[in-house]
């Protein structure tokens, strides 16, 4: 039972995924810090320089709904998604496209019988299915 678990854990995909999750979480912290330290002050300047943005909220029956937290989370999500797309997905897709360029198609080794349309070798003179006489390499 533990042997199967060990094989599962040591697969390349599982280890790669675990590394990706850890790096993604660290990157999310960096983007959140950037949003709070750099983008929020810029938004404050754009909205008049007051404390409006950092305390942007509304109350319903005495319960606060902090809109600024939602805006910060949205900005962080967009920045993380853009960074992942432009720095991970796009380069990997480009690399994979270069690695898998159109490979030359191999020359055909069979042709169709004109009578029964079954596949027969190019050099066959008679179809093995219907015994029709087939001439040369022409299809």
Q: What is the pLDDT of residues 30-51, one digit of tens each?
A: 888 887 788 777 777 776 666 5
Q: Please answer whether residues 44 and 50 qualify as being in contact, where contact means their C-beta atoms are separated by less than 8 angstroms.
A: yes
Together in a domain, 64 and 113: no
Residue 27's pLDDT is 83
139 has pLDDT over 50: no
Together in a domain, 37 and 21: yes
116 has pLDDT over 60: yes
20 has pLDDT over 50: yes
Together in a domain, 78 and 119: no
Q: What does DSSP assign to residue 37?
A: I
Together in a domain, 120 and 94: no
Q: What is the pTM of this model?
A: 0.48
CATH code at 50?
Answer: 1.10.1200.120
Q: In the chain, how many domains are there? A: 2
Together in a domain, 20 and 72: yes
- The region of weakest confidence among 28-37, 45-54, 58-67 is 45-54
Per DSSP, which regions of 15-133 are E strands? 57-60, 63-66, 110-112, 119-121
54 has pLDDT over 60: no
Which tops the pLDDT comparison, 80 or 133? 133
- The region of weakest confidence among 5-19, 87-101, 103-117, 125-139 is 5-19
Q: Average pLDDT in the 64-85 region?
A: 81
Together in a domain, 6 and 62: yes
- Domain membership of residue 83 as a residue range: 2-99
Q: Distance between CA atoms of 96 and 93, rounded to whole angstroms? A: 5
């Amino acid at each position: 039972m533990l042997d199967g678990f060990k094989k599962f854990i040591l697969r390349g995909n599982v280890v790669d995924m675990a590394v990706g999750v850890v790096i993604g979480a660290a990157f999310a912290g960096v983007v959140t810090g950037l949003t709070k330290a750099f983008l929020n002050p810029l938004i404050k300047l754009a909205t008049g320089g007051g404390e409006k943005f950092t305390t942007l909220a509304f109350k319903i029956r005495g319960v606060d709904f902090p809109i600024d937290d939602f805006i910060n989370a949205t900005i962080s999500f967009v920045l993380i998604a853009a960074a992942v797309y432009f720095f991970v997905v796009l380069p990997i897709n480009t690399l994979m496209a270069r690695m898998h360029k159109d490979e030359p198609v191999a020359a055909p080794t069979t042709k169709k019988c004109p009578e029964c349309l079954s596949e027969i070798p190019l050099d066959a003179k008679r179809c093995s299915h219907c015994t029709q006489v087939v001439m040369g390499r022409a299809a």
